Amino acid sequence: MRQNSTAPRNNKLKPSSNLIMNGSVRVRVIRTLLAIQNGQSLSSVLDPLLNSLHDGDKGFAHALLLTTLRQWHALARLLDSLADNPIDEVEVRTTIQVGLVQLLYLEVADHAAIHETVEAAKEIEFAHSTGLVNAILRKVAKNPSKFRKKCDKKHSLPNWLAYQLKQDWSEQYDELTQGLRQAAPMFLRVNSAVTSVEDYQHALDGTEIDADIVELTTGFKVASSSESATSTTLSTKGLRLHQSTAVNALPDFALGTASVQDMHAQLAAPIINKALMAKLSAEKSDTENTNNELHILDACAAPGGKLAHWLELISANDESSLFHVKQDNNQISPETSPVTTDIKVTAIDNEAPRIERIRENLQRLNLSQHDLQKAEKSVALNIVCADATRWQHGKNKKAATNEPVFDAILLDSPCTATGVIRRHPDISILRTEEDIEQTALLQADILHNLWPQLKAGGYLLYVTCSILKQENVEQMQDFITHHNDAVVIEFTEDCNWGIEQAIGRQCLPIDSASGDGFYYALLQKTAE
């Protein structure tokens, strides 16, 4: 069922004026919002906005922009109820919504909010609307608590998305739609190859940055050498800051000691790494060869957070390292002599700027190819700019085929990113209902291309930051139906995160960890 948005969608904006960063703070925020409505992402316009302002204005501008985006659709419905006639000019609607946010959410003094917003309408060359802007804002200023309550009563999502969430998550719907209007906490991933989570928390305390340790437990069943399923568990620890802070204030951030990464995103690398260790353990029991070569793939790798995490685990001198695996009563445990001395890591993404972002992040974390070559462990890293729907390993070689070469694949699949709306509230403006179907088709194409390149016995971890079932569990159900050599690895009751699905587990951004919405499904390939 198609649900139409309240606010008009087809009004023409003024592209030449949307990106001009001059005038008052409110004018610059309005122009930034107009640019987003013209299709630009928040990440592409936020820095230009903040860099154009004096330091003393940046905090207000950031709060005004982000709060307006988070409350956008609720404000649009409120505005429609306040206007005697439809307001068709998107510039005027945007200006009034910026004024409403100041009165209802930022507690700006009435006279300042109204006067400065009216002046902003003049600055963007919509002086004819000042009477309307003034009248609506004054009406709201007389009883802000009443209108705030009205604005907060329902969701602040496009109606089509709210309808879909109602279908997918009826029991969690009210809490979920309200939760998506809130700001997400800041999480840190600590580089286990450098220090421990506990020690880094202590370092944060020394700089008066408060943080809590969040520990997520994952359990899943893997096939052992005896062909019986064996349960394995792992713990993932991260830090949740009480208040977001600039990364340059974090101890040794520039040295690669910590990274900003959502807590639920931090599950990906440990899960696929543990699954790969299970594969090695099973193989070691069947062969005396202790000098294996591993080849692993991170598909759709940008900006590189999960790739970096995986490389950190590989480099760590503990039980998470692929260099320390043995078979012992169907359990995976550390051993002083390495099972493998050659690990090849391939990472792909389809845009050159995103590839550069991966390289920059790995450089900061001392995980570039040059850094890895200097390490005693043999890890070869190859970063490739390629389309995951068509790319095949070795395609530049004369004998390039779609033969299975990878022992493990981490597929951080493209998605509508509905699970990260708290961090990127522009998503609720930029996404359309049609995007879901198109994205699901893209995901299927990538899976179809990568699966034949996975070795028998290998694992594929499918990850999205979506909370829509069509992109997640339904995608996996369709994939399993068409691939008889794909076996679902069950997550066990040991998991203290996510909601069990027919296949995999779904994290929603309302659980106790306060992480974003992520979906995880682990598959193993069997011999045909």
Distance CA 387, CA 151 (A): 43
**Cβ contacts of residue 425 below 8 Å, gap of 6+?**
42, 66, 69, 70, 72
Backbone angles phi, psi at 140, to 5 degrees: -70, -35
C-alpha to C-alpha distance for 63 and 85, rounded to whole angstroms: 30
Kindly name the residue from 151, 415, 465, 495 that is annotated as catalytic.
465
- Cα–Cα distance measured from residue 351 to residue 281, given in angstroms and rounded to the nearest whole number: 36
3-state SS, one letter per residue, for 78-122: HHHHHCCCCCCCHHHHHHHHHHHHHHHCCCCCHHHHHHHHHHHHH
Which segments within 204-246 are labelled E, that is strand? 211-223, 229-241
Residue 151 annotated among the catalytic residues of the structure: no
Tell how far CA 83 is from the center of its chain. Answer: 37
Distances from the Cα of 273 to the Cα of 19, 49, 277, 330, angstroms = 44, 40, 6, 17
- Residue 370's contacts (CB-CB under 8 Å, 6 or more residues apart) are none
Q: Alpha carbon of 100 to those of 108, 181, 463: distances in Å?
A: 10, 16, 38
Give the C-alpha distances (Å, rounded to integers) separating 17 from 44, 50, 390, 429, 509: 16, 17, 40, 20, 36
CA 269-273-275 angle, 5° bins: 125
Catalytic center residues: 465
